[in-house]
Amino acid sequence: MGPYTTQMMAAMGADVVKVEAPGGDIIRHIGDGRHPGMGPIFLAANHGKRSIALDLKDPGARDVVLALVTRADVFVTNMRPAALGRLGLTHDALREDHPRLVHCTLPGFGSAGPYRDHAAYDDVIQAISGTAAVQGGDGEPAYIKSSIADKIVGLVALGAINAALVQQATTGRGQAVEVPMFEAMAAFTLLELQGGHVFDPPRGPTGYARVASPNRRPYRTQDGHIAVMIYTDKQWLAFFDLIGRPELGDDPRFRTIRERTENIDELYGLLAEALPSRTSTAWLEDFQRLGVAAVPVLGIDELLADPHLEAVGLMQEIEHPTEGRLRLARMAPSFSATEPVPLRPAPRLGEHSLEVLGELGLAPDAIDALVARGAVVVPELSRPPRA
């Protein structure tokens, strides 16, 4: 979630300095890359950033982080509170000297609750937030096959940081922003699934019948699968006519959206029964004519070749200096008065260590001393040639 949050900030034009441990972000080492430490997930989540590699057990390296903070508008971290406290990087420790700083922490659990010191990863949060139970339906709990919690919390964090920056611009003051994974995903899950428990006392059970229906799924056709979402009264009447069963429009189970939702399993069962009779193309043409949302089901390979995404230029090609040609998704929003920011290649570990230290005003001898004792790590290619 931290890399995703800051990757979006970089795409919007922020100068993002990624502070890594000497071994680097663990995500560097996942997947088959062309070079060690440059795996595909890292390349996708970290373009647009600069990397400085520091051993924060060294006091000199901690001083470098504090110097970076003095120049920063925003400090983003997903370190646990106890570790931040040991390093002197809590909001309380920094705010007196840096009152404009937006200090954003991304813990697993909020600091005011009893789970505050628990470790958390995407799978853990999917489980405790209700997501896995909902995904499993009446069967075994199941994870969504994507790091959905990390990415959703990253989006929540981006919004919170931008709100704090508006406050900073208005008042000249920063603040602490805490974006806990558990609370963010719990609120996300509850939005439509709290059901009757929105009321106190409850007026009905939790859940939302439409999304819980076992018949809500991509539907098999004669030659594949499609997804279709028939929603309004007009659309359902048109569908009943299309399948030769106009009398269903007068069925008391299906006349209004409330009645349809209460009988959604039967209604979606009709879809599942009807669609295998024709090809995907035939159904999609008819649904398009009727104004019904319907699309083919794409795999990831097909998604990368989708003509709409090609037309809007979602996938951009960049030439990475060490990893060759890469295809990376750009930020989806577009702005009418703001030019898009060119994609900076994802950094090698410590690629910008010397550059950033120079910007902080450290003398060459001081930089050499930090590098010599391992407090700062630089790639061999970053070292200036010795006379």
Cβ atoms 294, 229 nearer than 8 A: yes
Q: Provide the CATH topology of domain 219-296.
A: formyl-coa transferase, domain 3 (3.30.1540)
| Domain span(s) for CATH 3.40.50.10540 in the chain | 2-189+313-382
Q: What is the number of other CB atoms lying within 10 angstroms of the CB of residue 214?
A: 12
- Of 239, 242, 285, nearest to 296 (Cα)? 285
> If you write DSSP's letter for every residue of 3-68 in order, what string do you get?
HHHHHHHHHTT--EEEEE-TT--GGGGSS--SSTT--HHHHHHSTTEEEEEE-TTSHHHHHHHHHH
- The answer to whether the Cα torsion of 302, 304, 305, 306 is positive or negative is positive
The pLDDT of residue 382: 45
Distance between CA atoms of 53 and 294, rounded to whole angstroms? 48
Helix axes 148-171, 181-193, angle to 10 degrees: 110
Q: What is the number of other CB atoms lying within 10 angstroms of the CB of residue 158?
A: 21
| Domain span(s) for CATH 3.30.1540.10 in the chain | 219-296
Reported pTM: 0.91
The pLDDT of residue 81: 85
Domain 2-189+313-382 classification at class level: alpha beta
Cβ atoms 84, 75 nearer than 8 A: no
Q: Residue type for 343, please?
A: L
Mean pLDDT per 10-residue interval, the chain, length 387 residues: 96 96 94 94 95 96 95 94 90 95 97 93 97 93 96 97 98 97 98 95 93 92 96 95 95 93 93 96 97 96 96 94 94 89 90 96 95 92 44
